Structure 1
Amino acid sequence: MELLSLVIAALAVLVGAAGQRMIGMGWGLIVTPVVALVAGPLAAVLVVNLYGAIACLIILPRVWHDVDWRRLVWLLVPAVALMVPGLLIARALDTDLLRVIVGAIAVAGVLVSVAVTSTARHSDGPGLRLAAGSSIGLLNASVGMGAPIVGLYSLVSGWHDKTFVATMQPFWALVSSTIVLVRPFVAPEGAPDWPLWGWLALVVPVAAGVLLGDRMAHRVNRTAVRWSIIVCSLLGGVSLMIAGSLALLG
């Protein structure tokens, strides 16, 4: 079972890394539901943040000159401030209940994103940035699902250009690295029972996904990629909700 969960996680990591490079999102939306389903929601928090930081660090040198540093700070500070409360929430909740919560957030994120996309009105400002950063930090630390908030913020603010893709790389690298460093002291339980070679091997699909996304970034239809990620996220979220609900009822 551990080997199967590792193989499935590797496939999710490959797709998530490619999406992250192409459109600045997709990592958490793809990897979190899949890993939460096969290895548990606490495992998903660790895997998503550990390898997400690696993926973003690989991408960052190629997009460094397009980073919006001011907007990065607005989002990053509240995100970091809410990490410890998020980890404490993850530690306190039942595993199957966490599965339902992760699935519900994934589905809600998709539905809200689609709804917001249908309007042309955009707004942005310090209040929205602080709220978005706080929500991202809390949800990413507790259930590994800060990505829907990032997508929602980009839609509400109208932030869709190349600076969004660039800025998300140092943002996720810093957020994810901090969670990985803090987690052993706050919520050390729930790591996947994979052999050391498995943890090391997962770096390969991360790098491969980034390279694939880099090659495809200027060739694919960004709208098609975004909708593919949305569909995968929706399927993963529904699967998690069903699995968690059945376990709770049983």
Structure 2
Amino acid sequence: MDLLSFVVALVAVLIGAVGQRMIGMGWGLVVTPAIALVAGPLAAVLVVNLYGAIACLVILPQVWRDVDWRRLLWIAIPAVALMVPGLLLAKGLDTDLLRVVVGAIAIAGVVISVAFTRASRTHDGPVLRVATGTAIGVLNASVGMGAPAVGVYSLVSGWQDRTFVATMQPFWVLVSGAIVVVRPFVAPDGSPDWPLWAWLVLAVPVVAGVLLGNRLAHLVNRTVVRAAIIGLSVLGGGALIVTGAMGLAG
């Protein structure tokens, strides 16, 4: 791991943790493109899910009372059930092709979310919840990018209040934690070849980001935070598409 790559990872994790605490999403949108760019898409799946679960565990005690447990189960059960096919998909695809896929998903998720934001009607129900969980399970396990599906569901269903922020914490603990546990048995290759100190240091911006998000949650306009995360997602996704395309062309 070179110094520049490590700094990029640290900054991405810090920003992702802040966004996760403030608006219930942003972790995967910010961290996945950055880690995939500096360490590869397979490595990104492990890093994003491991530290994402840690971040959500830190946040969870603060939002426990607002969790919508019924809606959580509707989405989490299919997400966990589909993680093995997602891991097998990641294992079977070319690395550069995965980079392009991750970048395209990041950008597509942003475009779809913005389009649904303009819609006046909302839709929700068991079918939409199961479909959302299925998409999250496959995408998160294969490319570490289940966040766009979460964002689309929150906008389509109109679920954007404090219960959304709260419910996303145990949801990612369950989904990401399950992927971290199962991944060594299904797709053991592709883990970052980082020294122990790097793994330990990377946990620091996770906790720091959550603490910073606590301070800013009631002071900063969430629309501004969401816009910043969208911008970073588009930039990171674009960089991944270019990198992957160059690798496929070469």
Cα shift at 1:107: 0.5
2:179 alignment counterpart: 179
1:116 alignment counterpart: 116
CA distance in 1, matches of 2:85, 2:161: 32
CA distance in 1, matches of 2:22, 2:86: 28
Code of the aligned partner of 1:121: R
1:31 alignment counterpart: 31
User: Structure 1 residues 188 and 2 mapped into 2: Cα distance closer, same or farther (>3 Å)?
Assistant: farther
Instruction: Report the number of matched residues.
Output: 250
CA contact (8 A) 1:110 1:234 kept: yes
CA distance in 1, matches of 2:247, 2:202: 29
Cα shift at 1:119: 1.0
Cα shift at 1:8: 1.2
Code of the aligned partner of 2:119: T
CA distance in 2, matches of 1:52, 1:3: 22
Code of the aligned partner of 2:45: V
TM-score (norm 2): 0.99
Structure 1 residue matching 2:74: 3-state secondary structure: helix
- Structure 2's unaligned 5+ residue stretches are none
CA distance in 1, matches of 2:9, 2:46: 12
2:60 alignment counterpart: 60
CA distance in 1, matches of 2:5, 2:135: 29
Cα shift at 1:135: 0.3
CA RMSD in angstroms comes to 0.7
Cα shift at 1:5: 2.1
- Structure 1's unaligned 5+ residue stretches are none
What does residue range 192-211 of structure 1 map to in structure 2 within 5 Å? 192-211=192-211
TM-score (norm 1): 0.99
Cα shift at 1:192: 1.1
1:92 pairs with 2:92: yes
Cα shift at 1:234: 0.5
Cα shift at 1:10: 1.0
Cα shift at 1:4: 2.9
1:139 pairs with 2:158: no
Code of the aligned partner of 1:204: V
1:238 pairs with 2:246: no
1:169 alignment counterpart: 169
